[in-house]
Each structure stands twice: as structure tokens, then as C-alpha cells.
């Protein structure tokens, strides 16, 4: 859903790099004890690393993101998914920060995932790809930083699942990150959140072309299931208000209802489009794994143990929520704030008024951008050499 | 009144100057609650952790006993429900510090008695219809409320019109008339 942007404030032409971070001799050891190799990671960088390598900001993407967060790959009208936020003079200011953005483990945009070839069989992993945790995502991020010879981060930022990685990273490695930014994120999915994920996965796994995850072998894919999963998820990304304003009860390509079961209302047409276009860029198995990693995420599940670990954390946090977000509503963010503060972790919180629901974190909502910019400005001043 | 290294919550933290001072000079672990955008961004620019919320709801976002000291400086009168806020302060904090302007101070009595008008002065600087100060009180009012809530006063400092500690026997004998304001240390 790229929007056009002028060259001003853009990082311009960028390309995705790839690097093999784990090999058979040095495999990725997951929380579960399973090992994985090779692990290749797709990533992009923007801006310039300073002399003491202290100005890096890591971008953690959400469920369906990828490494291409900012700039363009040749067509300036098709920009990265967080181009509104990242660039020269933007809230994540590439004139001041060196930004690293990587596709997640288990993803399908260049990083090793279930569609990658399993070296043991010579075929795609499918559901033989091991289940992994948010900590495992962080392990891979850290290995990329080691490859880039970046010892610590000025910042780590993410929305939704991205914010979960920021939180887990700070807990697992309490001195890695100076400033952690969690946008409309959560420390724990609710039963309702898990229920939506469950239905999405059911749609995929009950598709007759799913073949227990081995659809690659048949040259097929569970297109119906993945489309339905995306259509339903998309409803949860928008607010009731934004849907009413955007579509209302308007009829697609006509003035009057046609009284039929095919697409008639504009909102139906929109969801069809969202579902269809998703097929071209996402692998159904990746969708299963990356929704499942969110379901199990619960870093504060054992609260006394979590607080003991948080007391070591040197990161200070910005937590932002949006008032019309009902996927991860403000209560999710306030729960985060309460636990972090209770463990004496410095935390700043702001609820932003925005009509766009969960999707707000991808949109140029002025007060949201102002908040991120102010928080990161302070961080930039701390890591910039004194004049 | 704020111990070195303590965990401090400032309700209505304004631009965060007090908290920045407590963090830098006294090694306190600080958090602000501030409703205004200007105050919020001033805190962020200072590196002071701040939760944007009004004082009434903001104080309720924290766990029992998360703070050693909760400060409510010249803001009690701007809360919607002062009794609830005081109780919440001493739920989330082990001790409270509350300061306010004393509407029983004699110039305010003169305004009402002689001019027949609600007071507007340096210590109560807003017109009655356009003020954040919706719950003004006197020293006697406050002490009565604290007693009714079962809150103990550990310390009281009387203030003059300039905001300094008011000295002299007269003000100690008739604080409700002669003190422009007061600061209280509170606990359960």
C-alpha cells in the first residue's frame, strides 16, 4: 500500500542486502533447543553510522512488514512501509541516526522462513520449520548487528509485533538499547486477539490447497485461506469510524444496490483488493508462524521474575497508543507502562487521538510523529558528539 | 522532604523542572503525570519520563506502593476529586507531599468581605469562571479532609505570599488567616 512521496525527506534509492548469519558450523539455537542453519537475513540501512558507532536505530517490523522500510527500489512512487517516519528530517531522522531494518526470521521477504529450502531434505521447510519465540527474533537481530559491528543501539522502534521485539530485546539484553519505542504494542495478547489469529490460521490450514504446509511441492498455495485471513485481519486494523468515513454504505461502481451476493458495497471491494494483493507478497506458512509467535508472547507472565529482570534494564521507553485502536487498545499500552514503571524502568506514555485505528502507526498522524520525533531528538542529542 | 535515591511521582509535573532536579541532584528515579501537551513535550525534551494524563486518572495507572514519594504541588485545587486523588497518592506512594494556596489567607477574606468578589490575586491568580482551580480550600479545610481520610500529617510548612517559609509566632498561632499557603508531608 505504498503512497507517493516527494524526494524531499526521502532516503531515496535503496537496496536490500542479504547476509548469511548462521551456518551449519554456527547454527541459530532457538529457545526451544532446536537449531536452524543456514539463516539468511534480508536487511536495509539508511543514514550514516557515526565514528563511535553509537547512533544506530533498529527498526522491528510487524506481522507483514519487510526489510524495505524507507526509500524506494527504483520507482520513487513506491516507497517503503515506514517511509513517512524514516528519512532526513523525519522523526527517525537519517541525518542523525543510522537506521537498520531487517526482515524477520520466519518471514518471506528474503529472510529464512518456512518457504526456504530445508538443507536436510532439499525441499521447503513448510511446517517442519521450527516454532520460534520473540526472543529468537531478537537473537537474529543481534547477530545482524554483530555482523555490522554495531555494539549498542541508540534506539529500537517497532509497532505492534515490532514493539514486542523491542520489549523482549530490552529484557534479554538490558544494556543493548538506550531508547525503546513501542507503538500500539502489547505485552500479552488477549483471548480476543488470539481468537482472531486462530480464525485466520484456520482459514489457511483448512484450505484444500494447503497440503499440511507442503503446498510448494504441488505448485499451489492456499490462496482462498490466506485471502480470508488477510481480509479479516484488515478489519481489525481499521476503526469503526475510519471504515464509516472511508466507505460508509456506498456501493462500488454504482449508485444503487444491485441486490446480489457478489461484491456490492465499497467496503467489500476494498477487502477483496487487500486480500488479493496480499497473495502476491506473502507466504501462508509465514503468516501461521508469525501470528503464532505473537500468541505465545507473554514476557510478564511470571510477574515477579519479569520485574527482577526488568530491574537490570537500562533502556528507557516510549509507549504510544491510539485512541481508536481496538486490536491493541490503550489498555495494552497502559499495562506495559504499569509493569515497566513498577520495575523502575523509565517510561513515557502518550495516547494519540487518531481516527485510523491500529493502522495509525503506519500513517503520518501529526501528534504521533511529533511524539516520536521529540523522544528521539533527546536521544540524538545524547549520542551526538559535543560541539 | 524527598529522600536521596527515592522513587518520585509528580502529579501535574508541568515542564518537568522539579523532577529533572530531583533526578540529577538527588539521584531520584522520577515519573511525571502531566495533561498538557506543552508540559508533556517539555518533560520529554528534558529526558524526564512522563505519562500524559490528567491527575485524577493518571495516578490510578500505577501499582500499589510503586513510589516512595508522590508530589502534588499547587495542583490539589485543580483535581476533579481531591479526596480520591489524595487517597490514590497514598496507595501508589508510601508518602505524599501536598502544597496548596490557602484561600483562608486574610487578603482573600478581604476580597470577599469588603469587595464581595471571589479573590483574584497573586496567590489565586484566576477569575472564578476561567480557572483550573475548581477545588480551592483553606488550611483548616485541608486538615479536616486529611483527618477524615485517615491520612497522617508528618510535617507542615507554612508559606508566605512569596512562597517562602513563613516565620513568626503570629502565623503559627493563626495559620488559616496569616499563611498564604502550606506544604504537608503525608502518610498513612
Q: Which residues pair with A34 in a beta bridge?
A: none
pLDDT score recorded for residue B169: 94
* A184 dihedral zone (left: phi>0; alpha: psi -120 to 50; beta): left
In the DSSP assignment, the letter for residue B187 is E
Given a cut of 70, the residues of chain A with pLDDT beneath it are 1-8, 387
The shortest C-alpha distance from B36 to chain A (Å) reads 11
Confirm whether A286 is a catalytic residue: no
pLDDT score recorded for residue B130: 87
Q: Hey, what's the cell of A253?
A: 461502481
- Taking the alpha carbons at both ends of chain B, their separation in whole angstroms is 16
Inspect the interface and report whether the beta carbons of B41 and A374 lie closer than 8 Å: yes
Q: Does B131 touch chain A (CB under 8 A)?
A: no
Give the Cα separation of B163 and A10 in Å (integer): 52
- Please tell me which residue in A176, A207, A283, A325 is annotated as part of the active site: A325
pLDDT score recorded for residue A137: 98
Q: Hey, what's the cell of A41?
A: 537475513
Inspect the interface and report whether the beta carbons of B31 and A347 lie closer than 8 Å: yes
Residue B5's closest chain A neighbor by CA? A344
- A:B CB pairs within 8 Å: 49
pLDDT score recorded for residue A91: 98
Give the residue from A321, A306, A43, A315 showing the smallest Cα distance to A182: A321
Q: What share of chain B is helix, strand, coil (3-state, %, to 5)?
A: 35, 25, 35
Give the residue from A315, A337, A384, A328 showing the smallest Cα distance to A359: A328
Is the pLDDT confidence value at B81 over 70? Answer: yes
Q: Hey, what's the cell of B60?
A: 490510578
pLDDT score recorded for residue B118: 81
Q: Which helix (H) or strand (E) holds B82?
A: helix B82-92
Confirm whether A54 is a catalytic residue: no
| Interface ipTM above 0.90 | yes
pLDDT score recorded for residue A385: 80
Residues whose CB is less than 8 angstroms from the CB of residue B60 and which lie 6 or more positions away in sequence, other chains included: B88
- Percent of chain A at pLDDT above 90? 97
| B131: confidence class by pLDDT, cuts 50, 70, 90 | confident
Residues whose CB is less than 8 angstroms from the CB of residue A100 and which lie 6 or more positions away in sequence, other chains included: A43, A44, A45, A56, A57, A58, A59, A144, A145, A148, A150
3 state DSSP class of A130: coil
Give the Cα separation of A188 and A185 in Å (integer): 9
E strand segments, chain B:
7-11, 29-34, 50-52, 67-73, 93-101, 152-159, 181-187
In the DSSP assignment, the letter for residue A216 is G
| Tally of CA atoms within 13 A in the half-sphere of A84 that contains its CB | 16
pLDDT score recorded for residue B122: 62
Instruction: Indicate the angle between helix axes A284-296 and A161-172, nearest 10 degrees.
Output: 50
CA dihedral A280, A285, A287, A293 (to 10 degrees): -160
Give the Cα separation of B48 and B41 in Å (integer): 10
Is the pLDDT confidence value at B120 over 90? Answer: no
Question: For the whole model, what pTM was predicted?
Answer: 0.95
Residues whose CB is less than 8 angstroms from the CB of residue A243 and which lie 6 or more positions away in sequence, other chains included: A235, A267
Inspect the interface and report whether the beta carbons of B51 and A349 lie closer than 8 Å: yes
User: What's the angle, vertex CA B37, arms to CA A333 and CA B33, rounded to 5?
Assistant: 55
Q: Does B69 touch chain A (CB under 8 A)?
A: no
CB B40 within 8 A of CB B51: no
Contacts of B122-129 with C-beta under 8 Å, sequence gap 24+, read: B122/B161, B123/B161, B123/B180, B123/B181
Kindly tell me the burial class for residue B78, based on how many C-beta atoms sit within 10 Å of its own C-beta (0-12, 13-18, 19 or more): buried
Q: Which residues of A touch B52 (CB under 8 A)?
A: 349-351
Amino acid at each position: 500500500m505504498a503512497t507517493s512521496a516527494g524526494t524531499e525527506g526521502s532516503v531515496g534509492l535503496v537496496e536490500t542486502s542479504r547476509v548469511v548469519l548462521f551456518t551449519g558450523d554456527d547454527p541459530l539455537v532457538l529457545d526451544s533447543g532446536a537449531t536452524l542453519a543456514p539463516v539468511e537475513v534480508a536487511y536495509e540501512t539508511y543514514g550514516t553510522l557515526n565514528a563511535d558507532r553509537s547512533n544506530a536505530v533498529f527498526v522491528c517490523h510487524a506481522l507483514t512488514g519487510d526489510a524495505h522500510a524507507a526509500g524506494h527500489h527504483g520507482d520513487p512512487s513506491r516507497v517503503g512501509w515506514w517511509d513517512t517516519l524514516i528519512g532526513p528530517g523525519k522523526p527517525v531522522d537519517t541525518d542523525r541516526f543510522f537506521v537498520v531494518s531487517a526482515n524477520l526470521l520466519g518471514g518471506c521477504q528474503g529472510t529464512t522462513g518456512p518457504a526456504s529450502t530445508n538443507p536436510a531434505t532439499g525441499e521447503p521447510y513448510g511446517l517442519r520449520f521450527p516454532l520460534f519465540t520473540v526472543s529468537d527474533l531478537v537473537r537474529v537481530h543481534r547477530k545482524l548487528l554483530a555482523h555490522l559491528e554495531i555494539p549498542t543501539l541508540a534506539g529500537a522502534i517497532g509497532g505492534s509485533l515490532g514493539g514486542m521485539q523491542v520489549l523482549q530485546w530490552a529484557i534479554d539484553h538490558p544494556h543493548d538499547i538506550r531508547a525503546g519505542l513501542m507503538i500500539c504494542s502489547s505485552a500479552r495478547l488477549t483471548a480476543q486477539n488470539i481468537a482472531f489469529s486462530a480464525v485466520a490460521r484456520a482459514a489457511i490450514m483448512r484450505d484444500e490447497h494447503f497440503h499440511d504446509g507442503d503446498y510448494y511441492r504441488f505448485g499451489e498455495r492456499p490462496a482462498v485461506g490466506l485471502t480470508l485471513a488477510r481480509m479479516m485481519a484488515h478489519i481489525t486494523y481499521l476503526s469503526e469510524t475510519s471504515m464509516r468515513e472511508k466507505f460508509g454504505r456506498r456501493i462500488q461502481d454504482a449508485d444503487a444496490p444491485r441486490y446480489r451476493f457478489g461484491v456490492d458495497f465499497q467496503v467489500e471491494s476494498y477487502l477483496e483488493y487487500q486480500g488479493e494483493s496480499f497473495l502476491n507478497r506473502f507466504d501462508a506458512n509465514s503468516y501461521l508462524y508469525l501470528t503464532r509467535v505473537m500468541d505465545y508472547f507473554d514476557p510478564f507472565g511470571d510477574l515477579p521474575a519479569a520485574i527482577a529482570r526488568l530491574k537490570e534494564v537500562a533502556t528507557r521507553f516510549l509507549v504510544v497508543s491510539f485512541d481508536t485502536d481496538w486490536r491493541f487498545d490503550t489498555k495494552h499500552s497502559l499495562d506495559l507502562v504499569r509493569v515497566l514503571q513498577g520495575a523502575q524502568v523509565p517510561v513515557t506514555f502518550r495516547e494519540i487521538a487518531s481516527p485510523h485505528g491500529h493502522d495509525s502507526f503506519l500513517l503520518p498522524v501529526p501528534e504521533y510523529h511529533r511524539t516520536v520525533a521529540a523522544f528521539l531528538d533527546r536521544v540524538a542529542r545524547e549520542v551526538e558528539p559535543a560541539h | 522532604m524527598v529522600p536521596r535515591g527515592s522513587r518520585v511521582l509528580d502529579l501535574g509535573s508541568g515542564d518537568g523542572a522539579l523532577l529533572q532536579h530531583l533526578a540529577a541532584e538527588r539521584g531520584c528515579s522520577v515519573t511525571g503525570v502531566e495533561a498538557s501537551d506543552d508540559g508533556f513535550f517539555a518533560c520529554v525534551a528534558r529526558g524526564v519520563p512522563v505519562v500524559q494524563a490528567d491527575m485524577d486518572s493518571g495516578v490510578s495507572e500505577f501499582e500499589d506502593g510503586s513510589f516512595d514519594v508522590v508530589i502534588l504541588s499547587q495542583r490539589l485545587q485543580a483535581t476533579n476529586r481531591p479526596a480520591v486523588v489524595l487517597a490514590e497518592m497514598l496507595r501508589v506512594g508510601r508518602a505524599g507531599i501536598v502544597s496548596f494556596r490557602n484561600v483562608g489567607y486574610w487578603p482573600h477574606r478581604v476580597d470577599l468581605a469588603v469587595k464581595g468578589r471571589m479573590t483574584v490575586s497573586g496567590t489565586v491568580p484566576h477569575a472564578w469562571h476561567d480557572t483550573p482551580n475548581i477545588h480551592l480550600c483553606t488550611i483548616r479545610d485541608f486538615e479536616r479532609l486529611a483527618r477524615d481520610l485517615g491520612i497522617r500529617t508528618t510535617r507542615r510548612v507554612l508559606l508566605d505570599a512569596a512562597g517562602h517559609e513563613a516565620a513568626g509566632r503570629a502565623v503559627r498561632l493563626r495559620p488559616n488567616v496569616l499563611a498564604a499557603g502550606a506544604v504537608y508531608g503525608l502518610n498513612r
